[in-house]
Amino acid sequence: MIRGIKTSKKGLRFKRISLPEIDKNFSKRVKQSAQEYESITLKGVKQSLKDRLVMSSIEGNAHEGHRGFLDREKRIAWTYPNATFDDVVIALGRDPDEVKNYTQGIIDEIETYLGYVVDSMKKIRGGKRIKIKGYKPHNALFEIRSSKKLKGQMNFDQAKQYLQGFFLGSVMDSAKWRENVEQFYDDVYMHKGVTAAVDLEKLRDADLTINDLSSSAYKDKFQDLPALIRAGIVIAKPEIKASNTMMNAYIEQSKGSGTSDDMSMIFVDHIKGKEAPRGLFSADQVDTLDKGTAKIVFGGQDEAIGAKMKEYYEDVMNEPLGVYSPDIRALILVSRAQRGALPSSSQSYFLKEQPNGMSVLEMHLKYIDSARNTGKYTNPKSAPIGFEQVHSDTFYKHVRERLKEGVQNNILEDTHGLNSKNKKVEIKDKKGPLLKVA
């Protein structure tokens, strides 16, 4: 049993008690967390998907000592660093294989939809509307649209923006691309890691936990990722079947700045167009759900699907998708997370209904549309954003500052002015100083 101190968002101090193995109280704490999520509304989301997102959230609660794992009266945070997705599902009385197959089905639907969009673009090249028929995704993406008159239809350019946004979202967490950013810009240090299959029995034999892998604590025993692979703890196969002894885990390779998914949504609109944020949101959903599926893909299904879609588009359309290395570097650089200012919302926080009646996803889409409709970014009615509960006015203020800094530092060239309704942005990048952080 490991003890430590944990500080809550409100500044309260809790004694942290870490339990390497599941005990008799684990199920009770899982159910308590689930009960706390019952009062939360995820806008436009089917109950089945909400249940699935809650399972992922509870796994995080178990690792970090949040919600049902927090005894507020005794000021104790119970953590289970080796709790798996399967452990949570079983504690909720569900079958892990059934849940994983359901989850994989959602990801497969998204991948199928991407192919459908490409095939439709081939048929309607010239600007006709793409009518999305017969496709009812599990996610909220197509139920929350900023323009009612579109009614589920996209024209050729909008469809391409959606695909570009998906591809950008699929690579923004890539360790390879983050390392590329570090090499290209001075004094930039990005958080890097990879998702991969982990043999739980060998992990425990090495006296390591899942949290050790995600926090670099494993480096006390293993130098790096290749060493974990040589020990058989991490499986480097391109694809492997998930089981109760083989789980998908995140292995941290180096510490540094992460990226803000919230900032990224607004940035991709700025460089690719209004449907790009929805594409990025789809990629983020794959990334979220990928942690508990029937198969484990080295590096993540989002990156694999993005690469496959890009290749398919360029083969079918006989033209580039239109996302280049400078686009990716600029996205990662400009979207760096900043504590207390530029948070990164999880899928649950993106979709949670706020006191203003909107979800954070809707707020961001409304913010984007305000510039297109009026020529000026206008903050939506305020609400907290992300786990950090950053005030939305603070967030949008820092968004504008980051975009302007991108222009001033020659990373973005805004040929029509930052707030122009018909803005067109050309990406530049070159070896240079780190963007100033407000």
Mean pLDDT of the chain: 85
DSSP state of 382: P
Q: How confident is the model at residue 372 (pLDDT cuts 50, 70, 90)?
A: confident
When pLDDT is averaged across residues 326-352 and rounded to a whole number, the result is 93
| Res 20: pLDDT | 80
Q: Are 427 and 271 in contact (CB under 8 A)?
A: yes
When pLDDT is averaged across residues 182-200 and rounded to a whole number, the result is 94
Other CB atoms closer than 10 Å to residue 393's CB: what's the count? 13
| Res 135: pLDDT | 39
pLDDT over threshold 50, residue 191: yes
Q: How confident is the model at residue 435 (pLDDT cuts 50, 70, 90)?
A: very low
Distance CA 350, CA 336 (A): 18
* The two structure tokens encoding residue 329: 């570097």
* Environment class of 202 (CB within 10 Å of its CB; exposed 0-12, middle 13-18, buried 19+): middle
Distance CA 135, CA 126 (A): 23
pLDDT over threshold 50, residue 66: yes
| Res 436: pLDDT | 31
pLDDT tens sequence across 261-273? 999 999 999 889 9
* The two structure tokens encoding residue 355: 């006191």
pLDDT over threshold 90, residue 300: yes
| Res 178: pLDDT | 96
pLDDT tens sequence across 24-40? 899 999 999 999 999 99
pLDDT tens sequence across 141-173? 443 333 333 345 777 888 899 999 999 999 999
